[in-house]
Amino acid sequence: MGILLDRLTEYSQSDFYPYHMPGHKRNTAGDLPVDWTSRDITEIEGFDNLHDADTVLKELQEKAARAYGAEESFYLVNGSTCGILSAISVAVPFGGELLIARNCHKSIYHAAYLRQLKLHYIYPEISKDYDICEAVTPMQVQDALEAHPGVSAVLIVSPTYEGRIANVKAIAKIVHEKGIPLIVDEAHGAHLGFTSGFAINSARMGVDLVINSVHKTLPAMTQTALLHVNGELVDRQTLKRFLRIYQTSSPSYVLMSSIEEAVEMAMEDNAFSDMEVRWEKLLTDLSGLRNLKILPNCMEECRNKQQDIGKLIISTKETELSGPQLYDMLLSEYHLQPEMVCESYVLCMFTIGDTEEGYDRLTKALLAIDAKLQGGQKHSVSKMPIPEIEVPLYVAWEQEQGEVPLTEAEGRPAGEFINLYPPGTPILVPGERFTKETITYLEVCMAEGLQVQGLSKYGNVRVLQ
């Protein structure tokens, strides 16, 4: 048991009476288990304050920094979102310019809105075999920096939602040669660096600001994350100010204990050994697929540090199935819930929390489905069009808006984000123009049964007046 959870447990069993928040007073609250409420406290004597940590929480954050190879680390209980908002706010002056990978999370765009930033985009290559975004390359970053010399920081995503890993070390070198900080949204990489032979985490490569969603790939509770800081390009005091702004003033001690427990577990000897064995067996067993294709298709692809361990792409591109059809079969017939679905693939995630049964059930389901399929087909997958920017995001969101049918939106600037969810990568950012190609792409996505956010239940979209 970790330090914080041990203290919370000990305190819950003591005779101290709580004349303080929270309102359940460490008793049951409706049907909430007393195991939860008895350990749920506020900033009381002996438990430190996250926003001015100097005892136990300071010790735990220092332990996290050592675990990830960072100079300094911060616990986040408002998810990676508050880490992203804080990182961008400290790295880029108000009204400044930020270079980002287009396949980034919507929180990056929210930061751009709040700070009135001008965004410049790097568009990752799309894999012809799997229709997924590849990782941003050093050459792309180099070219973009030369094209946009006014940017104050660069932000990339690695691993991507689909598990593609960038050459972060080379990118950091290029960015630092410009004298500006690199931010890595490593939300899906909290597990990186804890086992040999696979990719290491970005903090160990000298990246200035790194954000990890601990709950995504480590056994932590939802909403837990970490922010790591290195170097002298980021003012630490200003960063702490933004963390106080974007993060709750009443951080959950239960969530913070969950961060500690997850990091402690990841640091244990052989913590990932069972996962490695089961992952390799999964890939070996699925090498017998005749029609469906998987990424990675062997362990070597993970060990070459380009594809992440635990992210399984199941492509339907050469079968009669679409991605949504495979998703529905796994869900309804086999009671298996994938992480996400796109037009031609399904994504399933594995962590150290998975059981042998979890691996076996998916293996058997995919082999059974594959045996019934006819191969040799080639689906024509729609390509997401590159949008045309008419006005900046922060301007668009403040302008008067109206609602029109999607079919009548051509030539109008979007008033709201249009994206597939998950993962939330925008098809259109507010201020970007609806084109004929964009409308056609959205119609295909809806026809495939994909979840398109930004459209009303009547199929209308918001546009600038």
Q: Among 33-42, 213-222, 308-317, which stretch is predicted with the lowest mean pLDDT? A: 33-42
pLDDT digits (tens, 9 = 90+) for 259-280: 999 999 999 999 999 999 999 9
β-strands 153-157, 72-76: how paired? unpaired
pLDDT band at 225 (very low <50, low <70, confident <90, very high): very high
pLDDT at 448: 83
Q: Among 179-183, 225-229, 454-458, which stretch is predicted with the lowest mean pLDDT? A: 454-458
The whole-number average pLDDT for the span 59-73 is: 98
pLDDT at 379: 66
Domains by residue range for the chain, with CATH: 48-267 (3.40.640.10), 273-371 (3.90.1150.10), 388-464 (3.90.100.10)
pLDDT digits (tens, 9 = 90+) for 336-395: 999 999 999 999 999 999 999 999 999 999 999 999 998 777 666 778 889 999 999 999
* Tokens 């362990």, residue located: 299
pLDDT digits (tens, 9 = 90+) for 122-139: 999 999 899 999 999 999
Cis omega (within 30 of 0) for bond into 251: no
pLDDT at 396: 95
Residue 421, pLDDT above cutoff 90: no
pLDDT at 196: 87
pLDDT at 449: 83
**Percent of all residues in the chain with a pLDDT value above 70, rounded to a whole number:** 99
Under DSSP, the state recorded for 132 is -
pLDDT band at 236 (very low <50, low <70, confident <90, very high): very high
The whole-number average pLDDT for the span 190-206 is: 94
Beta strands in 62-165 (DSSP E): 72-76, 97-101, 118-122, 153-157
Dist CA 378 CA 118 (whole Å): 40
Q: In what order do the strands lie in the sheet with 97-101?
A: 72-76, 225-229, 209-212, 182-185, 153-157, 97-101, 118-122
Q: How big is the CA angle at 381 (ends 291 and 384), to the nearest 5 degrees?
A: 145
pLDDT digits (tens, 9 = 90+) for 3-58: 999 999 999 999 999 999 999 999 887 888 888 899 999 999 999 999 999 999 99
- The residue that leads in pLDDT, 178 or 452, is 178
By C-alpha distance, which of 77, 429, 131 is closest to 253? 77
Dist CA 89 CA 82 (whole Å): 10
